[in-house]
Amino acid sequence: ECRDHEDERVVWVRIASPALSPDADAARAFASRMASVIGVSGPHLSGVLAVDVHQGVTLFSVEPAAPSLSLSALLLNRTENRMNADELLPIMVQVQKALEACPAGRHHGEVRLERVFVDTQGTVQLTGAFLLAAAPPRPLATILRAHDRLRREFAPEVLTGVARESADFFAVGQLAYQALTGERACEPGASVPARLGGVGDEIAKLIAAHPRRRPPSLAPLL
């Protein structure tokens, strides 16, 4: 968390893992891919204010600070670490609107409990936009494979560098699964507990291992 000295607002600086930009050429290419989304934002999408490379190799992005708590923190404050569908629905509607603010052909890349922030009025900000979507696929895949919990939250195609909008839908499915069950993300294509009913049926479609088996939008889930 930092203060922007140009306008005195509070911002967040996200520093990419050195593994994602091991040399100057990789860092410059990474920054170039991020450059086209600078300024993209929406009522529920916390956009990228700036991207730069520190000392030749360390890429960082700057985004507006989001108010209040992440959805992950909100769930941790609950005895059962979960919420019901009625509570989750307005949050998911706003997450959908955040994704709709992404430019054509670009996806958010990191829809996770830790990136969804909800203020005291129930307004949602989806943070962390575009950084991992622009990351070099091979080192990103290496990092995700080393962290099993994290890997499950990303669509399988992220590991092969061909992720598109459908990867965000997969991530929304995993987010809904975690919020409604209090459990960690499941393996792609796994069965969903029957107690989730019709909502669970739609989550199961979203977390299909192959992107072609997923719905083309979040409308059925909502």
Q: For residue 111, which of 123, 96, 93, 121 has the smallest C-alpha distance?
A: 96
Interhelix angle 85-100/165-181, nearest 10 degrees? 160
208 forms beta bridges with none
Residue 158, CA distances (Å) to 25, 115, 196 in order: 22, 18, 27
Output the tens digit of pLDDT for each of the chain's 222 residues: 999 998 999 999 999 999 998 899 999 999 999 999 999 999 999 999 999 999 989 999 999 999 889 999 999 999 899 999 999 999 999 999 999 999 999 999 999 999 999 999 999 999 999 999 999 999 999 999 999 999 999 999 999 999 999 999 999 999 999 999 999 999 999 999 999 999 999 999 999 999 999 999 999 999
pTM for the full predicted model: 0.96
Decide the pairing of beta strands 69-70 and 58-64.
unpaired
Q: How far apart are CA 152 and CA 189, in angstroms?
A: 11
Q: How far apart are CA 193 and CA 204, in angstroms?
A: 10
